[in-house]
Structure 1
Amino acid sequence: MEFAELIKTPRADNVVLHRPLYPAVEGTLCLTGHHLILSSRQDNTEELWLLHANIDSIDKRVVLQEAHRDSTPTSPVTSTASEPFVGSLGTIVVKCKDLRVIRLDVPGMDECLNIASSIEALSTLGSVTLMYPFFYRPMFEVGEDGWQAFLPQQEFERVSSVTGDWRLSHVNKDFSVCPSYPALVTVPAAVDDEALRKAAQFRHGGRFPVLSYYHKKNGMVMMRSGQPLTGTNGRRCKEDEKLVNATLRPGKRGYIIDTRALNVAQQARAKGGGFEQEAHYPQWRRIHKAVERYPILQESLIKLVEACNDQSHNMDRWLSKLEASNWLTHVKEILTTACLAAQCLDREGASVLVHGTEGTDSTLQVTSLAQILLDPRCRTLRGFQALVEREWLQAGHPFQQRCAQGAYASGKQKWEAPVFFLFLDCVWQVLRQFPCSFEFTEHFLILLLEHAYASQFGTFLGNNQSERSKLKLPQKTMSLWSWVNRPAELAKFTNPLFEANGLVIWPSVAPQSLQLWEGVFLRWTRSSKYLDEASDEMVAIIQYNKELQAKVNALRRQLAQLETEDKVRESP
């Protein structure tokens, strides 16, 4: 298919762009295969480059202009013999997945309708291979191949350097045992591949328990999996029991954290799912935490965005809408469960198995957040990238499905949900409470959020490693990490307050401790000028303090040298 077939009007002049917080700009609108571009001849105005993949929905309206009036558009009216019409003005409202809303005033009814239909077609391309990452050619020099930056072998070496209890298995090398797992997985050394195959048949989607995190402090581990397929007959699998128990030390007990409420887990048995029976897993204590499943999250996000965009309501109405969205309730649920997992590992000295139903959504939210609390490396720029790669991309979170549409899309699909969005919000909540313990800023979290929904890079394409392998993404697209890890880009996301903290951090999950992520939900409607100025001032103060500290250290060295010379002169 040629993109030209979808572009009915490739160019329109005298188009006016309206954006909150910016003056209106008149310029030329151009449509390409992957971008909407508006360029103006006015001085000091930036071009608008908008990826079609970032467009969630569009609304269009055509207004007729009467001959005896000026060019100001009126409300829609009908023509009469005494008042002929001389033209029309079309308005296209573009709503984006990054929550931006812009308005385009296009002269001419035909041009407006053609542009609107072209945008709709180009923003909903059916084939993944037609998306921009397959056509993008970087203008920067690639210093590091991001596709090779965070391989399972490298993560396994960190574990194998401190313990020999684990091995790297190739049982899923052709993705036949578990389609959503990577080709290499870390499993207990005492369990062979045949047992893994049988355990996979007992777990939802073939997601048998694999290592998620090794806690070096005490040797405890966190595993993740899909739900066991016990069904109504209480089916069991001895290979699965052996696999799970292989993570326990002699005399130790473990915790199974099920991210579903008990009644939900019980209902799952009627559909062939279920949970671990105490009789078959006597060394494990099961804890149920009601983390909302992904179908509910999309509606929650829609309500929150609608509340944030409504500038007319008073304080009571705003607070009521914020509460009704339940977004912060979901944040609290996930943080609470992650803290529980971290507490079991660090304070109870017990290993943990985390799963919900599929093991690709709430499970990953909990395991990755727990690691951020426990592991200082995950709070660094590179460590957080490794965490996203390991616990989300390689672990099989279906990004292509979950991030297909955002909060503004009209036709919702049941598999769409802001699961990764919610995880990043949780990370921001912790970052806000521990501003000196993270090497990165919220701008890095926002960058990841934007690229998960629309990107020139191939990192978030596909639903799992099997699909990415078939699409040959490493050969045909550029990795986001290749761009992020350039020194010039890293500097933009580095937290000037960062001081390495080797301790476990314990965030407050009290309702009054959780806040709306204004940097995301209000960034297009409320100016951040004063916050930016305060941030710049803070950076300047920190830099000045470092310079003073350097001078103090230099003077101390000079003083020590002078004292040494005096002693030498005074000695006989």
Structure 2
Amino acid sequence: MEKTRVAKVEDVTLARRGEQVVGTLHLTPHHIIFSHIPPQPVSTQAQGAVVRPRELWITYPIISFCTYRPTPAVSRQPSSIRLRCRDFTFVCFYFTAESRARDVYESIKSWTCKIGRVDRLYAFSFQPPTPERELDGWGLYDVRKELARQGVGRDGCGWRISQINSDYGFSPTYPALFAVPNNISDNTINYAGKYRSRARIPVLTYLHPVNNCSITRSSQPLVGFRGNRSIQDEKLLAAIFATTRSERPLANFTPPNLESESSSSTQGEPPCSQTLSEITDAEELEDKLLASVEEPEDRPHIYGAQQHNLIVDARPTVNALAMQAVGLGSENMDNYKFATKAYLGIDNIHVMRNSLNMVVDALKDSDLTPLGPNRDQLTKSGWLKHISGILEGASLIARQVALQHSHVLIHCSDGWDRTSQLSALSQICLDPYYRTMEGFMVLVEKDWLSFGHMFRQRAGHLNSEKWFQIENERIGGDSGRGSSETSGAGKALENAFLSAKGFFNRENTSRDSLGETDAETGEYESDNPGSKKFSPTPRTVVAEKEITNPKETSPVFHQFLDATYQMLYQYPTRFEFNERFLRRLLYHLYSCQYGTFVFNSEKERVNMKAKERTRSVWDYFIARKEQFLNPKYDPNIDDNQRGKERLVFPQIDEVRWWSQAFGRTDVEMNGGHLTGAFQASSLEESGTERAPVVTGVQTANQSLDVGVTGNQTPLPTNRLSVVTSGISSLSFSTGKEKTRGIKQVGVEMQ
């Protein structure tokens, strides 16, 4: 690594929120440190009291944008460096000498962009303070212990722990241990893995302790335009949805020629097409499989007619359809007649990144001026719309499990962005344990760390030279900025095709490592519409060095914390931790001080010996637990007393700006006395649509799609209850819609 050009600069002026102080700037291998002596009252000076300097510490990975402005030739304005940080700290440094300013700029750029490898991040050299040294946050989460807490292993639960991935050979991005139905063998799992992107098959993440219904998660299936299918995948999902029945009809049912299938199949070919070609009577096999799942009329129903198992595709319908053109897609419900599928319409990482960029644009001048943010720009960003859509999707999942006594499978594309958001948030709604500090830590470990999330790419830990510029001329540019203002079907289709990264004109083995392509981004090779060819955006690697691809960054985990804050604000007595806990967790997502968020998968943490070489972020919180406790917390649960029920559901009309996370006051972001409902209605006034809870409901016999067909049926006012009943009866009432510009839902019969 290159050495710094300058380590210390005196007489540097720091501008922040319109105020300026003079101090000393220090550049260390991992931090920018600005220290200054605060002005003291005359009385304090007379007493001769020792004044401790104040310090501002900025870690290099937390820098999201850096601009160097040399002294203009015709001006006496000093040279300056402006920093925008991912924790929404905005500062400007002024220098008395231009040469010193340039040296500082080049040093910051060098330390930030030329880290090159994850093991050069601060986490690998950080030495914890005394309170943390005796702690071991890495031992907080134990998969067997957590599954046992949920009920896996007890008599009649219907689940077992599989070790097929103990060496991470089955799916490098999945945990070593995961739970599957008792009656599904590892051989079936092995074949089912060939049908899901990166072998991320449907596995258990949450088991409801009362009704034994489950939340499972996976990646998208490899359906493709040829309509590929996998009997093993169908059998696995049918078994999952049958785990609540007193008798398990799939326990002794094995499709012929599947368990003993020859291992000579070509890995590059769609496995299901080969499987079906070897079955002499596929129609008879399908009839047997489906008949084994259907309940006979004279058989008692444990949960009556309430149970309506659901497959949740988090993506907009158009995105899922576009993925079929590149060999992926969404389940053909003709093959999953025992379930209903709902598309939630949650936008992909590019839309979310653009939305946050617009929020940043509304705040970016806060280093130079004390003025509040641009409220119009905040509204146009659509940030609250996206948070509302995520929360509403999580609420739907939680209601299906708790109130409809049903099973839910969640997936998006690769199953580690929107899937993690929905899975974790729905469990917060369902289980009071995850609303405690320990439980929330376990939830993050389970649904984000163990099941894999591209923390390094999404958070931009290894940075990029594209985020450094001189004289306001962006080096390389960021094509994502500003594009969020573009709307319409063309933009939706473009984002859908961007979601197909790495799978066009390339053999999809379904077991790629998480560090390669992520099926979320991509770009066209030519601007000529007649010769456009979609190609994967490769992982940017030079020898052993790695840098961030700006198109892979996105505030996915930030949105999860924001959505959690919304529920904490709405239910202040139901959470053991406070808002500061969430804010500090957001900061440490980017600080790279701890090893928790610098890896993309459980396998990476094992291979890099993270537990031995780095500290867990939970050490920080456990050592200071009293700072993060909520004094209003009431741990008592009583479903018969209002306000103490086990379940909590987010109030979508009360979604508001998480002002402190953005470094602003509540008055600046939310208008003080104005409520979250005003924020929702302001979307209406600005012409910004709120995201519907679903953009389509599909079964083997009927599908409801938004903006796909010409037939339009208005969505009634009480959307969530209607969606639930719509999933049950597969029909929507046609009452007059009058609220919040909700997208209409068209009805199309297959």
Using structure 1 for the length normalisation, give the TM-score: 0.83
> What does the per-residue CA deviation read over 1:3-23, in whole Å, with 9 as the maximum and x for residues that have no partner?
xx33011111122222227x5
Letter in 2 for 1:484: F
More helix by share: 1
Residue aligning to 1:372: 428
Q: CA deviation at 1:182?
A: 1.2
> What does the per-residue CA deviation read over 1:507-527, in whole Å, with 9 as the maximum and x for residues that have no partner?
2112xx111111112438989
Q: CA deviation at 1:161?
A: 5.6
CA distance in 2 between partners of 1:496 and 1:336 (Å): 28
Q: CA deviation at 1:322?
A: 2.3
Pairing of 1:414-563 with structure 2 (within 5 A): 414-486=551-623, 489-502=624-637, 503-510=646-653, 513-523=654-664
Residue aligning to 1:354: 410
> What does the per-residue CA deviation read over 1:516-543, in whole Å, with 9 as the maximum and x for residues that have no partner?
1111124389899xx9xxxxxxxxxxxx
Secondary structure in structure 2 of the residue aligned to 1:15: strand
> What does the per-residue CA deviation read over 1:284-333, in whole Å, with 9 as the maximum and x for residues that have no partner?
11111101111111110010122234679999x94432221011110111
CA distance in 2 between partners of 1:496 and 1:313 (Å): 32
Residue aligning to 2:139: 148
In structure 2, do the counterparts of structure 1 residues 256 and 102 end up closer, same or farther at CA, with 3 Å as the change threshold?
same
Letter in 2 for 1:97: R
Residue aligning to 1:550: none
Give the root-mean-square deviation of aligned CA atoms: 2.6
Task: Say whether residues 1:95 and 2:84 are aligned partners.
Answer: yes
Task: Say whether residues 1:27 and 2:23 are aligned partners.
Answer: yes
Q: CA deviation at 1:223?
A: 0.3
In structure 2, do the counterparts of structure 1 residues 428 and 18 end up closer, same or farther at CA, with 3 Å as the change threshold?
same
Secondary structure in structure 1 of the residue aligned to 2:585: helix
Secondary structure in structure 2 of the residue aligned to 1:297: helix
Aligned 8 A contact 1:11 1:28 in 2: yes
CA distance in 2 between partners of 1:132 and 1:309 (Å): 27
CA distance in 2 between partners of 1:100 and 1:353 (Å): 39
Aligned length: 501
CA distance in 2 between partners of 1:451 and 1:235 (Å): 43
Residue aligning to 1:236: 229
Letter in 1 for 2:567: V
Aligned 8 A contact 2:12 2:24 in 1: yes
CA distance in 2 between partners of 1:168 and 1:475 (Å): 26
> What does the per-residue CA deviation read over 1:314-364, in whole Å, with 9 as the maximum and x for residues that have no partner?
99x944322210111101111111111011101111101011111111111
Secondary structure in structure 2 of the residue aligned to 1:338: helix
CA distance in 2 between partners of 1:289 and 1:517 (Å): 23
In structure 2, do the counterparts of structure 1 residues 233 and 62 end up closer, same or farther at CA, with 3 Å as the change threshold?
closer
Letter in 2 for 1:160: V
Residue aligning to 2:171: 178
Q: CA deviation at 1:494?
A: 0.3
Indicate which of 201, 214, 231 corresponds to 1:221.
Answer: 214
CA distance in 1 between partners of 2:135 and 2:311 (Å): 39
Gaps of 5+ in 2: 39-50, 246-294, 296-306, 468-473, 479-549, 638-645, 673-750
Aligned 8 A contact 1:431 1:437 in 2: yes
CA distance in 1 between partners of 2:399 and 2:370 (Å): 41
Indicate which of 336, 340, 351 corresponds to 2:396.
Answer: 340
Moved more, 10-19 or 226-235: 10-19
Aligned 8 A contact 1:260 1:290 in 2: yes
CA distance in 2 between partners of 1:229 and 1:44 (Å): 62
CA distance in 2 between partners of 1:393 and 1:40 (Å): 39
Aligned 8 A contact 2:121 2:592 in 1: no
> What does the per-residue CA deviation read over 1:176-234, in whole Å, with 9 as the maximum and x for residues that have no partner?
21121111112112111111111111001110011011111211001000011111222
Secondary structure in structure 2 of the residue aligned to 1:123: helix
Residue aligning to 2:272: none
Residue aligning to 1:82: none
Aligned 8 A contact 2:87 2:662 in 1: no
Indicate which of 9, 19, 29 corresponds to 1:12.
Answer: 9
CA distance in 1 between partners of 2:36 and 2:424 (Å): 44
Gaps of 5+ in 1: 64-74, 79-84, 532-572
In structure 2, do the counterparts of structure 1 residues 278 and 53 end up closer, same or farther at CA, with 3 Å as the change threshold?
closer
Q: CA deviation at 1:380?
A: 0.6
Using structure 2 for the length normalisation, give the TM-score: 0.64
CA distance in 2 between partners of 1:340 and 1:243 (Å): 23
Quick one: percent identity of the two aligned structures?
A: 33
Letter in 2 for 1:497: K
> What does the per-residue CA deviation read over 1:360-407, in whole Å, with 9 as the maximum and x for residues that have no partner?
111111111100111001111110011111011111111001000799
In structure 2, do the counterparts of structure 1 residues 527 and 266 end up closer, same or farther at CA, with 3 Å as the change threshold?
closer
Aligned 8 A contact 2:428 2:434 in 1: yes
CA distance in 2 between partners of 1:114 and 1:362 (Å): 42
Aligned 8 A contact 2:218 2:411 in 1: yes
Moved more, 404-413 or 258-267: 404-413
Q: CA deviation at 1:165?
A: 1.7
Residue aligning to 1:36: 32
In structure 2, do the counterparts of structure 1 residues 301 and 501 end up closer, same or farther at CA, with 3 Å as the change threshold?
farther
Aligned 8 A contact 1:134 1:476 in 2: yes
In structure 2, do the counterparts of structure 1 residues 478 and 322 end up closer, same or farther at CA, with 3 Å as the change threshold?
same
* Larger relative contact order (Cα-Cα within 8 Å, sequence gap ≥ 6): 2
Task: Say whether residues 1:190 and 2:186 are aligned partners.
Answer: no
CA distance in 2 between partners of 1:7 and 1:516 (Å): 39
Task: Say whether residues 1:262 and 2:251 are aligned partners.
Answer: no
Secondary structure in structure 2 of the residue aligned to 1:36: strand
Q: CA deviation at 1:24?
A: 3.0
Aligned 8 A contact 1:20 1:525 in 2: no
Runs of 4+ in 1 over 6 A off after TM superposition: 311-315, 405-408, 524-528
Letter in 1 for 2:635: A
Pairing of 1:42-441 with structure 2 (within 5 A): 43-63=51-71, 76-77=73-74, 89-124=78-113, 125-141=115-131, 142-158=133-149, 159-160=151-152, 162-163=154-155, 164-247=157-240, 248=242, 249-250=244-245, 251=295, 253-309=308-364, 318-404=374-460, 409=467, 411-412=477-478, 413-441=550-578
Aligned 8 A contact 1:57 1:120 in 2: no
Letter in 2 for 1:477: T
CA distance in 2 between partners of 1:273 and 1:48 (Å): 48
